[in-house]
Structure 1
């Protein structure tokens, strides 16, 4: 369900002022995506607080989440060249030119940048940096991405676990503690199966970082931080470069929290026979 469909579904339950906000959003999605709540309120003829109350009436965390959803909606509905990526005609044309394929990936990544809140990303990276144990939850479809992420994390952190079957789910719920972080890769229909584990993790004080295809993911109510990739209409194959780029960014932001610590851990790992991946500044 898109943000537009959600607004129309709840429209009759909104107050008169909130309905004015709803109609303005439907008519002016780009304005909402670009301007602060006060300006949207001014143009809609209501107060800033009415705009904020509208967000709460939509079960959103605030205006920032509304903006993220609007940006995602715009990216998914605008008739750009990248939206035709899956068509047979487009595939035939890009088969002749590798650079065109890579430019399509770059375009999707650039689009996704608009959906990422830098402050939320910094806080998520801080949580990963301070975690005593990091869990990564994946579905069958996202397992290849998760394996890369886990393999990289193991070069930076001493305690990392991949959750990919019911046995590890049950065992890990017992181990969850308030100093743990759960990273959820929720990019396909199977992601709804992750909801119960995410809910259990939050109840135990675990910071849950969800990477989802859409800001309207059912996991958003059980996430400390949710990052929408804006890839709901794309296949897992097309999503992969976008998600890998984001995970790489999350790792770099984590390293930036305490670069010296990660340099030392990497150095010790090489001395123990682990491969030198040069994830951080090369040491002497």
Structure 2
């Protein structure tokens, strides 16, 4: 188990100050590898004892064992894309490459399921259902997922907006948020600052923040009212794709069930419109 998986598996049992240590360990591994526990504590404004207790909470023998893991795993870690490629090259060496890749996806979906708390999911569905407006935000590698989620949610209910910072006045958009709005932020490594800052502004407007990320201690965790960690073994958005879309599908499904009557009425109005000019039927083979 690598350090990220180790921290994630014990994260819910950590104290607030220990979670602060955990975030620093993943964000600044070189500092952890080189500094003493006392120096690290001073750097992040916690006591040396807190740092040591954090190590024990991970069921490690102490700070030196943490440093050993960091040096072996994080400091020598390749880029996420290189790690993704290497994992697929290893699969190619065996038979049935297609089935192995898809089996890997199934394993990651199962890991994601295990890491999500049902009560948090139910809470998110309830807030999405009752929201006056839902905003969805994701940039760069997260944009495709955000675009799909906003599209799928519009099939269920009105007033869903995809935030596009490159083409709209974000301050104007955020100024319209309040306690009756929900902002869904999709943020994966490498974590862009802009979605985090937008979420902070939305939080000040009392908007409910739903975070979807690759770690329970991703930067969005400090702002999100609920956070859903999507399992990714090497911080690769590519490897997280199957799990991410599976989870987003579960969100859409939950909202359809929650708003069954409204969904059916919306679909009925859709079918009443003449859309023949938009679609064509497939032709029969001769």
The TM-score bracket by the shorter chain reads 0.5 to 0.7
Match of 1:125 in 2: 125
Answer yes or no: is the 8 Å Cα contact 1:133–1:159 preserved in 2.
yes
Return the offset for 1:95: 7.8
2 CA distance for matches of 1:268 and 1:93?
53
Between 250-259 and 111-120, the greater mean CA deviation after superposition: 250-259
Write the deviation string for residues 162-202 of structure 1: whole angstroms up to 9, x where unpaired: 11324432331122122111111101324332111101111
Match of 1:206 in 2: 207
TM-score scaled by structure 1?
A: 0.68
2 CA distance for matches of 1:144 and 1:205?
27
Paired residue total: 222
Return the offset for 1:153: 1.1
Match of 2:58 in 1: 26
Does residue 147 in structure 1 map to residue 147 in structure 2? yes
Return the offset for 1:22: 3.3
2 CA distance for matches of 1:25 and 1:274?
59
Gaps (5+ residues) in structure 2?
8-21, 27-31, 62-82, 277-286
Answer yes or no: is the 8 Å Cα contact 2:84–2:236 preserved in 1.
no
Return the offset for 1:227: 0.9
Does residue 258 in structure 1 map to residue 255 in structure 2? no
Instruction: Pick closer, same or farther for the CA change 1:163–1:84 going to 2, 3 Å.
Output: closer
Instruction: Say which SS state the counterpart of residue 256 (structure 1) adopts.
Output: helix
Which of 1 and 2 has greater Rg?
2
Instruction: Say which SS state the counterpart of residue 177 (structure 1) adopts.
Output: coil
Answer yes or no: is the 8 Å Cα contact 1:210–1:219 preserved in 2.
yes
Match of 2:106 in 1: 106
TM-score scaled by structure 2?
A: 0.67
Answer yes or no: is the 8 Å Cα contact 1:214–1:232 preserved in 2.
no
Instruction: Say which SS state the counterpart of residue 212 (structure 2) adopts.
Output: strand
Answer yes or no: is the 8 Å Cα contact 2:84–2:238 preserved in 1.
no
Match of 1:187 in 2: 188
Instruction: Say which SS state the counterpart of residue 142 (structure 1) adopts.
Output: helix
Return the offset for 1:97: 3.3
2 CA distance for matches of 1:84 and 1:165?
29
Return the offset for 1:248: 0.8
Return the offset for 1:20: 7.7
**Following superposition of structure 1 onto structure 2, how do residues 6-21 of structure 1 map, counting pairs within 5 Å?**
9-10=40-41, 13-14=46-47, 21=53
Between 2-11 and 205-214, the greater mean CA deviation after superposition: 2-11
Return the offset for 1:25: 1.6
RMSD: 3.1
Match of 1:244 in 2: 245
2 CA distance for matches of 1:273 and 1:116?
42
Does residue 221 in structure 1 map to residue 222 in structure 2? yes
Gaps (5+ residues) in structure 1?
30-82, 276-284
Instruction: Say which SS state the counterpart of residue 192 (structure 2) adopts.
Output: helix
Instruction: Say which SS state the counterpart of residue 114 (structure 1) adopts.
Output: helix
Instruction: Say which SS state the counterpart of residue 241 (structure 1) adopts.
Output: helix
